[in-house]
Amino acid sequence: MIGQGDGWLGRKIALILIVVLVAGIVAGALSYYLYSQHKQKPEKTTTQHPYPSTTSTQPPTTTQIPGDKTPPRIYSINYEFLPPDSVSITVNATDNSGISKVLAEVQGENYSLALVDGLCAENITVGAISEIKELPVKIYVFDKFNNYAKTKLTAVPNLEEKFVSLGMSNKISKSSAEEFYSDYQQLVQQLYPENKSLLIPLLKLYSKNSTIFSMLYQSVSQDPQLSKYSCLEKDELISSASQLFLDLGYTGKVKVLIPGTNNYREEFLTKPTIQAFGNYSVAIDSLGLPKHNKSTLFLLGNATQINPAIVDFEPVIVKDMNGKTFVIKSKNIARDVWMIAEHLRRTPYVVNYPEMYEAFSIKVQQNAFDILDNPEMHELGEHYKPTDKIIWEKVIIPQWKYYWNSTPQAGNLSKRICVFPWYNSTLLKEWISNKTDRKIALMYFWELLPRVADLDEWLTHKKNSLS
């Protein structure tokens, strides 16, 4: 019996030991689990428990702290004006929780910037850049907790951006406006913004044909007869001349009459034609002479394209026996070009006879001197203007008709013999091969006699010579 009792007691003790061991293992595991959970909580994050007096501070982590009140940081703001009417704004900003949105306040409106290559950017329409002096901009950067940073700046377009905008607003391509600015930056600086309207004809002509504009610009700006003009006055003349070319369609190839026919050929404008119309424009805008209609101007254009001798104003330089040099030249080329156009208006058939152009040009220049510039006329109290009807109806045109009626081209209506072949430059060159001598001979031929500088006397006593 004693042996059996001992065995039962031993089994009971063993069972108790097993239970205690298992309980210890479970308690240890639970303790380890609770400890490990405690180690994984982030540092410096304060968690509010149901009871306000109870908080817990937990270990650090790289993730955003819930409820963070730190605003985003703005590193930089860049802007660029985009002609004709937009501005590009780019914002570089960061925040630990990430950027939620970026707003730009421009002209009283809010614009949301889009995320592009890690930056926030947007193109905003602001109206014609050419009219903007400065553009106030406010920037707002928000994080995911609606914290925000803000800043402001003033965007100012530069001269090129304003000029290109002006061009594009007037239907000029961006590339043409940029090229003009590159070639004529000083001209733009002189005229913008106070006289920016003068730039539009220049830019339009340049965009159609930069070569024509360049030649016209040089012709007017370097004209020695305009040496006393201010830069602005010259720029005004260039602008008016450019508009004249645009009005006539003189921006590339032009139709040119084939003399003696009703047919035309196309060819590019020549330098003499460009210079002639540059001078004509000066006569209109500087001298105040009336502008001819297109028909008359096309006569002038055709004539200069056919034979530039009609607008040859090369000075005549001679030396006397003592070596003294004399220069004979037009007193006012712009005025004389206008008078050539006026003469063509009254005698349009001349355009069909390019062999007469050399003599025709000298006639107009000599008439202009004798009637308008001759000091003997002024001493006698005679002062005339290129527009006075009397000088055309009583002197210039009658003189022309008198000699024209004796030419083969007119059928020799007068039945007079014309020995001096002024009417045919080819024949005249056979007589006088030297250009200077030929010009001098033509000046003498067309000269109004000095002793009749008083037109009234001349018309009364010498009218038969011009009828």
Q: What is the pLDDT of residues 77-108, one digit of tens each?
A: 999 999 999 999 999 999 988 899 999 999 99
User: Is 70 exceeded by the pLDDT of residue 59?
Assistant: no
**pLDDT reported for residue 118:** 79
User: Is 60 exceeded by the pLDDT of residue 354?
Assistant: yes
**pLDDT reported for residue 41:** 38
What secondary structure does DSSP assign to 344-382, as a single string? HHH-GGGGG-GGGHHHHHHHHHHHHIIIII-HHHHHTT-
| DSSP H or E run through 323 | none
What is the percent of the chain with per-residue pLDDT over 70, rounded to a whole number?
82
**pLDDT reported for residue 15:** 54
- The domains found in the chain, sorted by start residue, are 73-157 (2.60.40.10), 307-466 (no CATH)
State the pTM of this model: 0.79
| DSSP H or E run through 267 | strand 264-268
**pLDDT reported for residue 13:** 54
Token pair recorded at residue 253: 């190839």
User: Is 90 exceeded by the pLDDT of residue 264?
Assistant: yes
User: Is 90 exceeded by the pLDDT of residue 68?
Assistant: no
Cβ contacts of 176 within 8 Å, gap of 6 or more: 167, 203, 206, 207
CA distance 404 to 398: 10
The pLDDT mean for the chain works out to 85
CA distance 386 to 368: 8
